[in-house]
Amino acid sequence: MELNKIYQGHCLDVLRTFTDESVNTVVTSPPYWGLRDYGMGEQIGLESSVDEYVNVLVEVFRQVKRVLRDDGTLWLNLGDAYAGSGKGRNADGKGNPGNNHMQSEGQFKGIVKLPKIVNGLKPKDLIGLPWRVAFALQQDGWYLRQDIIWNKPNAMPESVTDRPTKSHEYIFLLSKSPKYFYDHETIKEQAVYGTQDVRGSRATFGQPQKQRREDKVRGSFNGKYGNKAFRAIREKRNKRSVWTVTTKPLREAHFATFPEDLIKPCVLAGSPINGVVLDPFFGSGTTGLVSLKHGRNFVGIELNQEYIKIAEKRLSDVQLELIHEM
């Protein structure tokens, strides 16, 4: 395995060439089932049934588990779908990806029109694809450690009138072993206690418990260090499970891309400095981009050569920036 390289090919074929326990963490987003045709005959996401799609992903992540260190983690982003609809759509909610000189025939056609008839579900039922995959991986031996909600403030509008507009996706944190590398200090967030209510007065949510905790600690802390030091250690808190990150279009690509701010906590918490971050569905290369910016190595696998060209251009720009900063 060469570091900071994109391997072209089907992820299963390429993964089988990697050595055991050679990767610190995996951050990835597989193609969603029945969402769109990327113009590649071997692509994942065009399976005729949900069960087939789930089984393929279990097989892929079985290989991922093999190349992952025993203390490694998997950060898996997946979107959901509804049963019974013959209409496909793009990741951005539009019915056609538009004209792009890099599109293959399948990409230009855009949407996938699978019937999406799922055994046991009625038309309009939410399939629960992310959880089906997560539970299947759990059954296959992974530790399912956390469901993270990706809250999208600028979510694509939907023309639905019988349910709320969807504005979230899931990221699942899975591990190979019960104990694993997780740098919680690196991704701590700003502590927030209480909030302003509509009348402008200070709300008391969380205050009594916080006050009791502060009173208890101050009894033995203030005399030696003082209030300033106490406030300093309370300014950060453990990363929460709801991440609010806006989507950001990429000019060079018509397909959905990871926002860098969404990937950053996964890379920082999942891998030490100079560690190896793998993305078997590399796409436009955001996982590699974030890894390089924060002192980690990446390994990418991508089936589509046109996407590799986009990723290589983005990565070369970052590498040049890092050289200039040295």
Please, which pLDDT band fits residue 82 given cuts at 50, 70 and 90?
confident
| DSSP alpha helix (H) spans, 227-271 | 227-233, 260-270
Report the phi/psi class of residue 310: left, alpha or beta, with left for phi > 0 and alpha for psi in -120 to 50: alpha
C-alpha 308/C-alpha 321 separation (Å) is 20
pLDDT at 288: 96
Is residue 318 classed as helix, strand or coil in its secondary structure?
A: helix
pLDDT at 176: 97
Q: How many CB atoms lie within 10 A of CB 142?
A: 24
pLDDT at 188: 95
Dump pLDDT digits (tens) for 161-185.
999 999 999 999 999 999 999 999 9
Residue 49 φ/ψ, nearest 5 degrees: -145, 160
C-alpha 275/C-alpha 216 separation (Å) is 40
pLDDT at 114: 58
More confident: 211 or 95: 211
Residues whose CB is less than 8 angstroms from the CB of residue 108 and which lie 6 or more positions away in sequence, other chains included: 39, 97, 99, 100
- When pLDDT is averaged across residues 81-88 and rounded to a whole number, the result is 64
- When pLDDT is averaged across residues 135-152 and rounded to a whole number, the result is 97
Lowest mean pLDDT among 57-66, 81-90, 213-222, 268-277: 213-222
Q: Count of residues for the chain?
A: 326
Lowest mean pLDDT among 71-75, 118-122, 232-236, 245-249: 232-236
Most confident of the ranges 112-126, 274-288, 303-317: 274-288
Domains belonging to the chain, first-starting first, are 5-187+240-325 (3.40.50.150), 189-237 (no CATH)
Please, which pLDDT band fits residue 206 given cuts at 50, 70 and 90?
very low
- 140 DSSP 8-state letter: T
Residue 255 clears pLDDT 80, i.e. is over it: no
| DSSP alpha helix (H) spans, the chain | 11-15, 50-67, 105-109, 129-139, 207-225, 227-233, 260-270, 286-293, 305-325
Lowest mean pLDDT among 221-230, 234-243, 246-255: 221-230
As given in the structure block, the two tokens for residue 119 are: 């055994």
Residue 296 clears pLDDT 50, i.e. is over it: yes
Share of the chain above pLDDT 70, in %: 71
Please, which pLDDT band fits residue 97 given cuts at 50, 70 and 90?
very low
- When pLDDT is averaged across residues 142-147 and rounded to a whole number, the result is 98
- When pLDDT is averaged across residues 72-86 and rounded to a whole number, the result is 85
pLDDT at 212: 47
Residue 241 clears pLDDT 60, i.e. is over it: yes
- When pLDDT is averaged across residues 195-221 and rounded to a whole number, the result is 46
- When pLDDT is averaged across residues 13-30 and rounded to a whole number, the result is 96
